């Protein structure tokens, strides 16, 4: 029977999974190529002279011209971009003017700090935001719903730098409940051998629980701040998704059949919004990875956000472009990961 059905159909040259993988890889490559081109062109049209950042404003015209040609700035823009693209493919983002080290090494040093902070902030946002959104939807119009909406509104409207300063003033300056700016206290610096670059993980692997507790006291406030920002977004979207599902006919049918409220809410309604929540959490996570600049500056957190900001103020365009490309790559990879989770949680998406 199967042979008769497929007898007249042409056999595919490539398996479907291979074609889908090729399309995914191709879309990632095109996206990254566009990101590289845009960031490169922005770096070239910005009113910042990378030559002056190197030689200084008192250098002679001859020295300026030599550095100008050595950087390849005398060549056409398309040639400069082709050279830059080839270097990036090899993992070479150039040398940082500020640190006099390869930008790739600088990014490998500072990115784990942002990853650790954003991950903990996302965990806090999901752990509190999803239940809050579900309860607010179930108790629509109640005082719980009103509190949830106010919490989300405050998280959206309050400037994050103001919340950070107030948090430092109250919980560090007045109450002394948390550690101050930085990742660890100065007398614990460099006491743990770097393995992953994330101080909590490295101190736990080393068994140095004194450093672990000190690092935890420093990260808890900025992570809670980012977690609150994430919570506001996640709780609001969760509430919206749940309201849509709770008004569906299958929920009414389940209740009429005598199914428990817990099974209706978590076994049916919440189960159907998991795929949508994946997008929300992925976007929130990516937003914390690329948008925690103010938090890192306020808390003196040596992450990629503060690194890019310092590089921009110092006209270190290699560092700015390298950091931007890495953040963009992480954003793309998170979107790809969310697509893969779609297919795992919802077979209809395959």
Q: Residues 105-349: name the CATH superfamily.
A: MetI-like (1.10.3720.10)
312 contacts 304 by C-beta, under 8 angstroms: no
CATH 1.10.3720.10 location in the chain: 105-349
Which tens digit of pLDDT belongs to each residue from 147-204?
A: 888 888 888 778 888 888 888 889 988 888 888 888 888 888 888 888 888 889 989 9
Cα separation, 107 vs 261, whole angstroms: 49
Per-residue DSSP letters for 181-247?
Answer: SSSS-GGGTT-S--SSS-HHHHHHHHT-HHHHHHHHHHHHHHHHHHHHHHHHHHHHHHHHHHHHHHT
Please, what's the b/e burial string for 92-121 (b: 16 or more CB within 10 A of its CB; e: otherwise)?
ebbbbbbbeebbbebbebbbbbbbbbbbbb
Query: Which pLDDT belongs to residue 349?
Result: 53
- pLDDT value at 291 more than 70: no
**How many Å is the Cα radius of gyration of the chain?**
25
Q: What are phi and psi of 95, to 5 degrees?
A: -100, 140
β-bridge mates for residue 95, sequence order: 102
Beta partners for 102?
A: 95
Q: What is the mean pLDDT of residues 77-105?
A: 84
Q: CB of 280 within 8 A of CB of 60? A: no
Between 221 and 57, whose confidence is greater?
Answer: 221
The DSSP secondary-structure symbol of 248 reads S
d(CA 189, CA 155): 33
Has residue 93 got a pLDDT over 90? no
Mean pLDDT highest for which of 7-21, 110-124, 180-194, 268-282?
A: 110-124
Contacts of 347 (CB under 8 A, 6+ apart): none
Q: What is the pLDDT of residue 116?
A: 92
228 Cβ neighbours under 8 A, 6+ residues apart: 124, 125, 155, 163
In terms of pLDDT, which residue wins out, 221 or 6? 221
pLDDT of residue 216: 92
Q: What is the pLDDT of residues 55-90, one digit of tens each?
A: 777 777 778 788 777 777 778 888 888 888 888 888
Rounded Cα–Cα distance for residues 155 and 227 (Å): 10
Q: pLDDT at position 63, please?
A: 80
């Amino acid at each position: 029977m199967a042979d008769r059905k497929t007898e007249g159909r042409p056999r595919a040259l490539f398996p479907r999974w291979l074609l889908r993988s090729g399309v995914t890889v191709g879309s990632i490559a095109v996206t990254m190529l566009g990101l590289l081109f845009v960031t490169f062109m922005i770096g070239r049209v910005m009113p910042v002279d990378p030559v002056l950042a190197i030689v200084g404003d008192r250098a002679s015209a001859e020295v300026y011209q030599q550095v100008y040609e050595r950087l390849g700035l005398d060549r056409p823009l398309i040639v400069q971009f082709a050279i830059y693209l080839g270097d990036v493919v090899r993992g070479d983002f150039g040398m940082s003017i500020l640190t006099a080290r390869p930008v790739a090494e600088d990014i490998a040093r500072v990115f784990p700090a942002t990853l650790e902070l954003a991950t903990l902030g996302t965990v806090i946002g999901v752990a509190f935001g999803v239940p809050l959104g579900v309860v607010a939807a179930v108790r629509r119009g109640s005082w719980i719903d009103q509190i949830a909406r106010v919490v989300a509104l405050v998280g959206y409207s309050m400037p994050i730098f103001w919340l950070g300063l107030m948090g430092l003033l109250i919980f560090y300056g007045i109450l002394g409940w948390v550690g101050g700016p930085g990742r660890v206290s100065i007398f614990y610096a460099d006491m743990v051998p770097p393995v992953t670059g994330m101080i909590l993980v490295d101190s736990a692997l080393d068994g140095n629980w004194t450093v672990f507790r000190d690092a935890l006291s420093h990260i808890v406030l900025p992570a809670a701040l980012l977690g609150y920002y994430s919570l506001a977004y996640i709780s609001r979207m969760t509430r919206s998704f749940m309201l849509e599902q709770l008004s569906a006919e299958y929920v009414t049918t389940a209740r009429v059949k005598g199914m428990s409220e817990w099974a209706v809410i978590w076994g049916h309604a919440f189960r159907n919004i998991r795929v949508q929540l994946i997008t929300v959490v992925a976007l929130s996570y990516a937003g914390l990875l690329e948008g925690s600049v103010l938090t890192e500056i306020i808390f003196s957190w040596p992450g990629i956000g503060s690194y890019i900001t310092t590089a921009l103020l110092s006209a270190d365009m290699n560092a700015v472009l390298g950091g931007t490309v890495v953040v963009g790559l992480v954003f793309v990879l998170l979107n790809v990961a969310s697509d893969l989770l779609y297919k795992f949680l919802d077979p209809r998406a395959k």
